[in-house]
Every structure is written in structure tokens, then in C-alpha cells.
């Protein structure tokens, strides 16, 4: 019996079967081609990588525990959302006509109402965010809901844990969701401490076999805090010492050299918009805890009226492998498409994919000034190389690209026409669009947009603008490496 021939036949059948599975199961054409190349040119390893990271579990409903399983209740909610949103959209004093299509898309696709009467505070960097967070936690009377991708076992993480334990011992109901991959450092020590103190803590999508688990591919990248249903926090800042820039790092020269300035952006919200972040948390909670936390009134309290001069109109966009459409990607595309004058984008990882690239290029060619702010150096060399493979095309179309050099810029923000601001957890990359559970806040307000524009302009002071001519004349071997990395971008 010729075993070599039999093994070759088995291998060929395995490649054909895997290739057919890729073609049938993968929604993105670029991803399909990338995985086919991987399977064909890297025998065995390519198939292992595909089945570990590439299988489309979105089709297999990895997350199907919705808050409103009762169809009548969901129908009633839809009517209320449409009615309330219609009142705001029909108010002539609200300057959101140019965002009408974006607003309606999020209402229809994500059940996210457009709300007024919101107070919004911009929090720049961790040293601004955490004092506000601890103040809100200390004021809690009924419940605290916390959900994070990275929750580190370090100084700020321990301070956060102590704050939660203190409130739990006071009788406040504390619920805590941590991503099993991003927050793996707290599994053995801090999570047991929280549970012992009465905090209900659950990991999101527990990882059992890290080396080959597809579960590592679908992560909860959200950063949400909701206190008493009245105050909420959302944005790019995780719970880690990295995000807190200390003025004095000690006398140790090595320690000072290691300290990296971390630029990030977060929001503190009060008002009706908090309800959708609460809704998002409870749906995640019901999935992680395998229980049913009902949407009781104390989770969604009535908010007091605030002066119209302070009121901001808002929406929340959430998406992940549980959503039928990549809602965050589509909302960003719509925001870019409707811009008429200026688009300011800040993102730590820029791997946008074809549709977002096309939308940006269309805007630039329509006379819209587009500025893109990215790190001069991120925390991944291969991601850097893949991102740079997109720069050449953007520069050729007149997009201005700035490299942030003061430290690592981790903020995920966009401002269009100094009217619409988007701040959240989603990077402008394929992973955030298709694989991660993400959430963004949209603020339809000129005054707030001006504030975020000022932050963007301040960041440019510490950035270097790419010269298109010099960029195009870089060594060919470097450009080849970047283009090669770009081929892998659907898998990064």
C-alpha cells in the first residue's frame, strides 16, 4: 500500500474541503482571498490558523441571548423609540438635519433612540477619567455595572477593585463583566476577591484552549460603566496604569525612560443616552451570567430636565458578532459620506478595509478636507506595516496623515463638519468592525464638536505630517514589506 500517495490524497481533499468552507462561510471577499492564500501556500498551518481564527461564528449565533425575547415587548419598545426620536428629529431648533440618515439607520438597525437632555463631559486621558469614575462609584446608591476589555492587576486596577468592594459591602449591587483574554491578569487574584466581597463577576466568552480556540478571535472590546442608571462612562480608556500619565515617575532613570505617554479619550454621560449603555450592559450580562436580568424601572430611572444650553443630542451605536450588520462600520461610513467640509479621524489601528477606504477617498475627492491622526509607532509592528500599506493611496487622493510622536495615541474619535462627534471603543480596523463587541457614542452638537476639534488640533502639535513625495520615494523593499503585510490585514 502506497502510504505517501494516500496521505497526499487526504491532504488534497482536506485543502479542497477547507477552501470550499472558506468560500461558503466568509462574508468578506478580501478575507476569503486572504484565507485561501494562507491555506494553499502554508500547508497544515494555514488550515489550523483558519479553523482557530477564521470560522464565521457570527452565523452560528455565538451570542443569541437578547434582553427582549418577548416579541410583543420588543414591538412596544420599537414604537416608543420611533415616537420619541421622531419628536426630536421634527424639532426645528435641533441642527441634526444633515445627520438624518445616520440617525434613522441606528434607530432602525440597532433600536438606538436619538435622545436630547444629555449632559456630556469630555475626559482626556486616564488621569482625567479615573477621578470622575471613582467619584461616581462612591456616590452609587443602588447598583454599579462595569464592563471592560482590559482590567489590569496593577495600581489603578487594585484601586478600582477596592472601590467596588467597598460599595458591595455597603449593600450596593455590583455587577462586573471582564473579557477573559484582555483581563486575564485578574482571573486568579482579583476576581476571587471581588466575588468573596459580594460582587457578581463573570468573564465574557471564557477561553479554554488559547492556542487553538476561535473564542480568542471574538472579544468584548467594550468599556462601559453605569452607576444607578443615571451616570455612565464610555470610550477608549481601559483600566490599566498605562492610561494614567503620572508627572513624577520617580528618580529611577530607567523607569522614566520606560514611561510612555498614553493619549486617549473618554466620555462621562448623564441623561437618557445612559439607558442604551445600560441596555447594552444588561444584554451582555444575560449572556455571560446565563441568567435573565429583567429591564426593571430602577435600571432606567427618569432624568431631571437640564437647561437647553447644556443639553446634547446623542445616540449610541453598538455592534458585534451578534448583530446582523456591522453597525459601527456602517455608521462611520454614513458619517463620512454625509460630511461636506471636514473630517478629523483619530485611531490607533488603521486597517479600514475596502468599503471604508472607498468612502474616505470619495469624501476627499468631493472636496472634503480629511485629516487622519495615527501613532508614529503602535504596539504591533505587523499592524503598523499593514496600516502603512493604506497610506499611499490616501496620500495620493489628498488625505492629510499625521503621525503622533509624543507617545501612543489610543483614542478612537471622529469629528465631521464641526457638528458630529463620535467617541467610543471601536478602532478603525476590520477587527473592530467584524469581530469584536464594540460601542460608540455619537454627539450631535456643535459646541461639543468644537471642543473635540480643539483636542485634535492640540494633538497635531505633537505630530509629524507625512510628506507625500517623501513617502512615495521610500525604499522599495520597505514598501514591499508593507504591501505584503497589507495582504494579511483581513486577519489582523
Residue whose C-alpha cell is 469614575: 133
* Residue 84 contacts residue 239 (beta carbons within 8 Å): no
Same domain, 8 and 81: no
CATH of residue 356: 3.30.870.10
Asked if residue 93 is part of any domain, the answer here is: no
Same domain, 146 and 284: yes
Asked if residue 217 is part of any domain, the answer here is: yes
| DSSP category for residue 325 | S
Asked if residue 66 is part of any domain, the answer here is: no
Point out the residues that are catalytic: 221, 223, 228, 410, 412, 417
How far apart are alpha carbons 44 and 28 in whole angstroms? Answer: 23
Give the sign of the dihedral formed by CA 169, CA 174, CA 180, CA 182: negative
| DSSP category for residue 242 | G
Same domain, 355 and 429: yes
How confident is the prediction along the chain (492 residues), in pLDDT tens digits per residue?
677 787 778 888 888 888 888 888 776 676 788 788 888 888 788 887 777 666 655 555 555 545 555 455 556 556 666 666 776 777 755 667 788 899 989 988 888 889 999 999 999 999 999 999 999 999 999 999 999 999 999 999 999 999 999 999 999 999 999 999 899 999 999 999 999 999 999 998 777 655 445 556 678 999 999 999 999 999 999 999 999 997 444 445 444 445 789 999 999 999 999 999 999 999 899 888 888 888 788 898 888 888 888 899 999 999 988 787 889 999 999 999 999 999 999 999 999 988 999 999 999 999 999 999 999 987 778 888 888 889 999 999 999 999 999 999 999 999 999 999 999 999 999 889 988 999 999 999 999 999 999 999 999 999 999 999 999 888 888 888 877 777 666 555
Among 247, 278, 312, which residue terminates a domain? 312
Q: Tell me the C-alpha to C-alpha distance, in Å, between residue 183 and each of 27, 188, 221, 255, 338.
A: 30, 11, 11, 24, 38
Residues with Cβ within 8 Å of 102's Cβ and at least 6 positions away in sequence, in order, are: 331, 334, 335, 338, 420, 442
Same domain, 195 and 288: yes
Same domain, 162 and 241: yes
Asked if residue 126 is part of any domain, the answer here is: yes
Residues with Cβ within 8 Å of 339's Cβ and at least 6 positions away in sequence, in order, are: 363, 368, 416, 417
Same domain, 284 and 371: no
Same domain, 221 and 255: yes
- Angle, vertex CA 239, rays to CA 202 and CA 453, nearest 5: 125
Asked if residue 322 is part of any domain, the answer here is: no
Number of separate domains in the chain = 3
Q: Tell me the C-alpha to C-alpha distance, in Å, between residue 69 and each of 43, 75, 283, 292.
A: 44, 11, 11, 10
What three-state secondary structure class fits 481? helix
* Residue 230 contacts residue 302 (beta carbons within 8 Å): no
Q: Is 419 exposed, middle or buried (0-12, 13-18, 19+ CB in 10 A)?
A: buried
Among 253, 278, 312, which residue terminates a domain? 312
Same domain, 380 and 442: yes
Same domain, 129 and 203: yes
Residues spanned by the domain of 271? 71-87+115-312
Q: What is the pTM of this model?
A: 0.87
Amino acid at each position: 500500500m502506497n502510504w505517501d500517495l494516500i496521505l497526499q490524497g487526504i491532504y488534497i481533499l482536506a485543502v479542497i474541503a477547507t477552501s470550499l468552507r472558506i468560500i461558503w462561510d466568509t462574508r468578506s471577499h478580501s478575507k476569503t482571498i486572504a484565507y485561501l492564500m494562507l491555506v494553499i501556500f502554508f500547508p497544515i498551518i494555514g488550515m489550523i490558523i483558519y479553523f482557530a481564527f477564521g470560522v464565521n461564528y457570527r452565523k452560528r449565533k455565538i451570542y443569541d441571548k437578547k434582553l427582549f425575547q418577548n416579541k410583543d415587548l420588543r414591538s412596544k419598545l420599537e414604537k416608543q423609540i420611533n415616537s420619541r426620536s421622531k419628536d426630536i428629529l421634527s424639532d426645528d431648533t435641533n441642527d441634526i438635519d444633515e445627520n438624518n440618515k445616520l440617525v434613522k439607520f441606528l434607530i432602525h438597525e440597532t433600536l438606538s433612540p436619538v435622545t436630547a437632555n444629555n449632559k456630556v463631559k469630555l475626559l482626556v486621558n486616564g488621569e482625567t477619567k479615573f477621578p470622575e469614575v471613582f467619584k461616581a462609584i462612591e456616590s452609587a446608591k443602588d447598583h454599579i455595572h462595569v464592563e471592560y476589555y482590559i482590567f489590569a492587576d496593577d495600581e489603578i486596577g487594585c484601586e478600582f477593585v477596592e472601590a467596588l468592594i467597598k460599595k458591595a459591602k455597603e449593600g450596593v449591587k455590583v455587577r462586573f463583566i471582564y473579557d477573559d483574554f484582555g483581563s486575564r491578569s485578574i482571573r486568579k487574584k482579583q476576581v476571587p476577591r471581588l466575588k468573596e466581597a459580594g460582587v457578581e463577576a463573570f468573564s465574557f466568552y471564557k477561553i479554554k484552549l488559547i492556542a487553538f480556540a476561535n473564542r480568542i478571535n471574538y472579544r468584548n472590546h467594550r468599556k462601559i460603566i453605569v452607576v444607578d442608571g443615571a451616570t455612565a462612562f464610555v470610550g477608549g480608556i481601559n483600566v490599566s496604569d498605562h492610561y494614567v500619565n503620572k508627572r513624577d515617575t520617580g528618580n529611577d532613570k530607567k523607569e522614566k525612560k520606560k514611561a510612555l505617554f498614553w493619549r486617549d479619550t473618554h466620555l462621562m454621560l448623564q441623561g437618557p443616552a445612559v439607558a442604551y449603555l445600560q441596555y447594552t450592559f444588561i444584554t451582555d450580562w444575560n449572556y455571560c451570567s446565563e441568567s435573565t436580568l429583567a429591564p426593571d424601572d430602577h435600571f432606567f430611572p427618569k432624568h431631571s430636565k437640564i437647561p437647553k444650553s447644556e443639553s446634547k443630542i446623542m445616540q449610541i451605536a453598538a455592534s458585534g458578532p451578534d448583530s446582523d450588520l456591522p453597525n459601527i462600520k456602517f455608521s462611520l461610513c454614513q458619517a463620512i459620506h454625509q460630511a461636506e467640509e471636514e473630517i478629523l479621524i483619530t485611531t490607533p489601528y488603521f486597517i479600514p478595509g475596502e468599503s471604508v477606504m472607498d468612502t474616505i477617498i470619495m469624501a476627499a475627492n468631493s472636496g472634503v478636507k480629511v485629516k487622519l491622526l495615527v501613532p508614529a509607532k503602535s504596539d504591533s509592528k505587523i499592524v503598523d506595516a499593514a496600516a502603512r500599506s493604506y497610506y499611499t493611496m490616501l496620500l495620493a487622493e489628498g488625505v492629510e496623515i499625521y503621525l503622533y510622536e509624543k507617545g501612543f495615541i489610543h483614542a478612537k474619535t471622529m469629528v465631521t463638519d464641526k457638528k458630529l462627534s463620535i467617541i467610543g471603543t471601536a478602532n478603525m480596523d476590520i477587527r473592530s468592525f467584524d469581530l469584536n463587541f464594540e460601542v460608540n457614542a455619537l454627539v450631535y452638537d456643535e459646541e461639543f464638536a468644537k471642543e473635540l476639534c480643539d483636542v485634535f488640533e492640540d494633538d497635531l502639535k505633537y505630530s509629524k505630517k507625512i510628506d507625500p513625495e517623501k513617502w512615495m520615494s521610500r525604499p522599495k523593499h520597505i514598501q514591499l514589506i508593507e504591501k505584503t503585510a497589507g495582504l494579511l490585514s483581513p486577519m489582523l
